[in-house]
Amino acid sequence: MATSSQSLVAFGQQHVTKGLGRLTEAVMSKGEGSYVSFEDGRRMLDFSCGIGVTNLGHCHPKVSRAAADQCMNLVHGQCSISFHGPYLRLIEKLLPIMPDPSLDSFFVWTSGSEAIEASLKMARMITGRQNIITMQGGYHGRTFGAMAVTKSKTSYSEGQFPLMPGVFAIPFPYWHQFGLPPSTSESELVRQALYQLDLVLKQQTAPRDTAAMLIEPVLGEGGYVQAPAPFLQGLREVCDKHGILLIVDEVQSGFGRTGKYFNIEYSNVRPDIMTMAKGLANGFPLSVVVSRKELTDKLKPGSLGGTYAGNAVSCAAAVAVANAFREEQVLENVGARSKELIATLSSLRSDPDVGSSIVDVRGQGLMVAVEFASPLYSAHDPALDLSAPKNLATRVAKRCMEKGLLILTTSVYEVIRFIPPLNISEDDLKKGCEIFAASLKEVVREG
């Protein structure tokens, strides 16, 4: 039996499938608030939150206690056999915070990818149509249907073709995707993207064949790019005109991550179907698909389900998360810390040592990104800079880890994403920003 830290790592390297990648070859042993500890003795500030999952910090006492208590009453109340209390109490907590009161019919599953699968299936059954329009740069999961609508990186679907048919992609209003400079106006990006949507509906999938449009209101794996409100409003208008359903994927951007419960609230756009997961239960596996009862009443009983769907322990944890949001003024903390984070990162753009390497600082709430120039971009990309250091994002993230900060890259571009706990303290946020700034300056000096 492997016992020492080194032998545990070696055991894992031998027996855990190579299909999994890791940020570090280490064994995480404990999480507490904004910090994680490893078997080798390191304790690190965590700006990854398990990729936006532990939004209330690791092992939040109220959430963990609720889960532990539920374990002693009912662990598995299978959703196709009966209702169970935590499932229904969770719906009670979610109803008042929905971005539109029309969202009143809930299906609780296990993962974000499963929620996307359910939303696609629902859209096809409700409309009687097959095709789906998705966004370049969008990430929706690695299961078969979710993989087909994911367009953030080819690594998720490489070697898997043919994928699920009936999927068509349009550019997201992000300057990279049009080969336009970062200074391009929002209105021009929206105009270009909506024009491409018009073309797809005229050239590739007729409206009568199109079941749904699927969008993350903030691209996650696509680079932490906010969808402009006029673009979302334009999608809503086209969907209403043609009877197409609008699916909004809030798996990463939802549950307080961008300063509101759901990012779609910033645009006042009504989803027909919305998915959520990640921060919903603070680490316990849980996802939700919500729609309108008038739509879900068209579904046949038994067309949705899953052995572990709506697990009682995870639902109890999610109820405790919803309570903590209100009792601990979590959204207020997000607003305060967001201003500090964005101001600190923006100040680096005027720093003579590193400013020329930074292309953009963007984000809302505590879903924030820094994008760098690169000498490795396409010759057609306006962010190509032959004098910029190579692989800057990956190198800076690695240097941060050496200094005690877990932080992640994202997208096919040079982007580092900041996803600290939503209840992070001012001191811990400052500490993480100082580590990032020091790491960036060191890597830029090395060239």
Domains of the chain: 5-56+330-446 (3.90.1150.10), 63-327 (3.40.640.10)
The fraction of the chain above a pLDDT of 70, given in percent, is 99
The mean pLDDT value for 134-162 works out to 96
Q: Which two tokens stand for residue 184?
A: 């391009």
Q: Which two tokens stand for residue 135?
A: 């966004």
pLDDT tens, position by position, 191-244: 999 999 999 999 999 999 999 999 999 999 999 999 999 999 999 999 999 999
Note whether 38 and 28 are within 8 A (CB).
yes
What predicted TM-score, i.e. pTM, was given to this entire model?
0.97
What mean pLDDT, rounded, does the chain reach? 96
Which of 3-7, 59-63, 102-106, 270-274 shows the lowest per-residue confidence on average (mean pLDDT)?
3-7
- pLDDT given at position 4: 80
- pLDDT higher than threshold 80 for residue 2: no
Output DSSP code: residue 43.
Answer: E
Distance CA 114, CA 142 (A): 9
Q: How many CB atoms lie within 10 A of CB 294?
A: 11
- pLDDT given at position 5: 83
- pLDDT given at position 216: 98
- pLDDT higher than threshold 80 for residue 3: no
- pLDDT higher than threshold 80 for residue 290: yes
The fraction of the chain above a pLDDT of 90, given in percent, is 97
Beta-bridge mates of residue 289: 107, 275
- pLDDT higher than threshold 70 for residue 412: yes
Amino acid at position 221, single letter: E
Amino acid at position 209, single letter: D
- pLDDT given at position 108: 98
- pLDDT higher than threshold 60 for residue 1: no
Note whether 46 and 34 are within 8 A (CB).
yes
- pLDDT given at position 69: 98
Report how far Cα 202 is from the mean position of its chain's Cα atoms: 31
pLDDT tens, position by position, 373-403: 999 999 999 999 999 999 999 999 999 999 9
The mean pLDDT value for 75-90 works out to 97
- pLDDT higher than threshold 60 for residue 303: yes
Distance CA 75, CA 373 (A): 49
